[in-house]
A = this chain, B = another copy of it.
Amino acid sequence: MSEAAISETSDATVETASPGALERVDVHFEPAGRQIRVPSGVMLFDAASWNGIAIDSTCGGHGTCKKCKVRVVDGIVPVSSLDARALSADELRSGWRLACRVALTTPISVEVPPLLTRPKSATAGVGRRVILRPAVQKRYVELSEPSLQDQKTDIERVLAALDDLELRVDLGALRSVATVLRRSDFKVTAVIVDDILIDVEPGDTTDKAYGIAFDLGTTTVVATLLDLTTGAPMAVGSMLNKQQPYGADVITRISSIMINNGGDVLDRLARLAHETLAALVEEVCAEADVDPKNVYEIAVAGNATMSHIAIGVDPEPLGVAPFIMSTRRWPEVLAKDLGVSVHPGARAVLFPSFGAYVGGDITAGLIASGMDRDTRVRLFIDIGTNCEIVLGNSERLIATAAPAGPAFEGASIKCGMRAAAGAIEVVKIAEEDVALGVIGDVAPEGLCGSGLLDAVAELFKVGLLDSSGRFVSDEVANATVPKLADRLRWLEKERIFVLAYKGDEGDLSDAIFLSQRDVRELQFAKAAIATGWSILLEEYGIKPGDLQQVLLAGSFGSYLSPASAIRLGLVPKLPVLRIVSAGNVAGEGAKMALMSVRERALAMTLLEEVDYVELSDRADFNDRFVEQLAFSI
């Protein structure tokens, strides 16, 4: 294994803090004239590729192609053992080094020669270009046959042909090596994940190397099959998490375990998670006509509760104060530990969690959106029953979780429903009329989160809701928007606004409407979220106007209207173009982890770089929450 890889995988060990992770080093690149700042200890090749500065390489920084030559023009960089083999004495004296072997610990300035080749890369995350350097490596080798003069063991023979790597051997590889070598005339492909030889395959199979990235959501699970030789997605599948019968959100799932006092329901929920993942594996492999045995690694981004359950760890302490996880980082996990039948030696990458309510899905999302490397100060909001918020840039990141409640999932809303066919997802209200956008272009069945947000924002805009969130009186309604006033009605002593009649005009029995209590639910959710980011802004010492971008993550974030979010104060009052829907960033982060061990290593070190702000611990939370209930600011 390369030196760089060693330091990366050692980060994967459970719970070992990497002190000093926040120390930074400046690097200057010529002729680009770029100056960047990176954590101390990062390899020069990685630092360059993270910052979009291309250095020649065909091995992606493995230390095998010896093409990533750069010239150190200022600063001291010792000569590595690989440098001594790859470069002439003259070159070494002139400052030439292999970038993949330079650990950045002091400021340096380097000259990057023009590219001869282009490193393989692929787009992932929020428009990020990722240089391919998967943990999965395949190497085709033709070995000499053993003799009485050469009695090397089979494993020694294979490893001798891979002497640039320092490998551990998986029991599975050991079990098959004798047979495979002899059945294939000693021409085999070594399958390596990280620093582990997981298999030896007959003949040349280097073109078959796949990984599956999972976004393990509480509601929906998404799987992407990746060709790791190109970084290209081959198939995408999604389905509802089979744990659904045990509750819509993490708290009800944890409760169902607590009520049964542990083991039994935990086992059942773990199995259901495994079945969900397994069904998706089957689906994406069938779609792309890929043999699951050629899937050598999976990556799973899930919140802390989903991750705990999938691994079979009791999540109960996550559900009650003081909200304690069993672990932040996961030990070495196999795909089969998650019930996934791919290659039997396949590894699983699980994203680490910052806290009980800022989980691995957020870690993955931050990697995908480059929050840890971008110099712009940005706000990352993942809206759900639990809302995760991260603020900062490459210099500093802080995070919190806000208990938004289930309003946006449609759960506590009278006519609420999940964002599926028939859900009103867009609401436009003019003086004259109500215009609805319905998912699937069918007759409306209910109101999903983005529709709820729109409805409230539009009613506030036209003056049917006041800033305290109360429906105005019939008199005011008639005076302000007379054409809409007849939609403002009473149902069981509660004020409602009718969005659509499914049956006869005026018949409330199956109308779709927004009730006063629905507005209150949304207000609570909005207040929790806004309190969260406002406290973070204060902790960070900036004003909302200083924010250069707001990233709305998660499936809900992708659909809601930035204008409505701004109007209601769900996000800071900023020009609408600064509010960006980031899409399924958790899944993108999982893909990036499969595509690059460097991205994965960053996910592991992120834990050390993000300060977590616990809201439930703050004396001023309630006051701020009440302040945020009102709409107008």
Chain A residues at the B interface, C-beta cutoff of 8 Å: 13-16, 146-156, 159, 166, 168-171, 174-175, 177-179, 182, 262, 311-314, 316-317, 321-328, 330-333, 337, 355, 614, 616-617
Contacts and interface: CB of A to CB of B under 8 A. Distances in A.
A359 B179 CA distance: 21
Nearest to A312: B175
Contact of A153 (B16, B156, B171, B326): B326
Given A151-B322, A153-B328, A327-B155, A313 B178 contact: yes
11 contacts: A13-B168, A151-B324, A153-B326, A153-B328, A154-B325, A168-B331, A168-B332, A170-B331, A174-B330, A175-B312, A178-B324
Given A153-B326, A154-B317, A182-B317, 20 more contacts: A15-B155, A15-B156, A15-B159, A146-B317, A148-B323, A148-B616, A148-B617, A150-B322, A151-B324, A153-B327, A154-B327, A155-B327, A168-B331, A171-B311, A171-B312, A171-B331, A174-B311, A174-B326, A175-B313, A177-B326
Contacts of A146: 317, 322, 324
Contact of A175 (B152, B154, B311, B614): B311
A177 B326 CA distance: 7
Contacts of A154: 317, 324-327
A140 B545 CA distance: 54
Nearest to A614: B148
A166 B177 CA distance: 33
A355 B325 contact: no
Nearest to A170: B331
A16 B327 contact: no
Nearest to A316: B178
Nearest to A617: B148
B149 A617 contact: yes
Contacts of A178: 313-314, 316-317, 324, 326
Nearest to A177: B326
A144 to B, nearest CB: 12
A388 to B, nearest CB: 16
A14 B325 contact: no
Contacts of A159: 15
Contacts of A153: 15, 324-328
A155 B324 contact: no
Nearest to A327: B155
Q: Which of A150, A166, A324, A333 has the most CB of B within 10 A?
A: A324
**Secondary structure call for the A interface:** loop
A337 B616 CA distance: 46
Contacts of A332: 168
B311 A148 contact: no
Contact of A147 (B182, B322, B326): B322
Nearest to A159: B15
Contacts of A321: 148
Nearest to A356: B151
A326 B178 CA distance: 6
Contacts of A326: 153-155, 174, 177-178
Contacts of A314: 175, 178-179
A245 B16 CA distance: 51
A603 B625 CA distance: 66
A322 B153 CA distance: 11
Contact of A331 (B174, B316, B337): B174
Contacts of A15: 153, 155-156, 159, 169
Nearest to A183: B262
> Which of A150, A151, A177: most chain B CB closer than 10 A?
A151
A166 B16 contact: yes
**Which of A148, A149, A262, A617 counts the most B-chain CB atoms under 10 A from its CB?**
A148
Which 8 A-B pairs have CB atoms at the shortest separation, nearest pair first? A155-B327, A14-B169, A148-B617, A153-B325, A148-B322, A146-B324, A178-B314, A154-B326
A262 B159 CA distance: 24
A151 B313 contact: no
Contacts of A312: 171, 175
A198 to B, nearest CB: 11
Contacts of A616: 148
A151 B614 contact: yes
A484 B37 CA distance: 98
A589 B200 CA distance: 33
Contacts of A317: 146, 154, 178, 182
Nearest to A158: B15
A524 to B, nearest CB: 22
Most buried by B among A159, A175, A182: A175
Nearest to A318: B178
A589 to B, nearest CB: 21
A626 to B, nearest CB: 21
Contacts of A156: 15, 327-328
Contacts of A149: 617
A412 to B, nearest CB: 27
A150 B16 CA distance: 18
A157 to B, nearest CB: 8
Nearest to A197: B14
Given A155-B327, A328-B156, A171 B337 contact: yes
A587 B311 CA distance: 38
Contacts of A324: 146, 151-154, 178
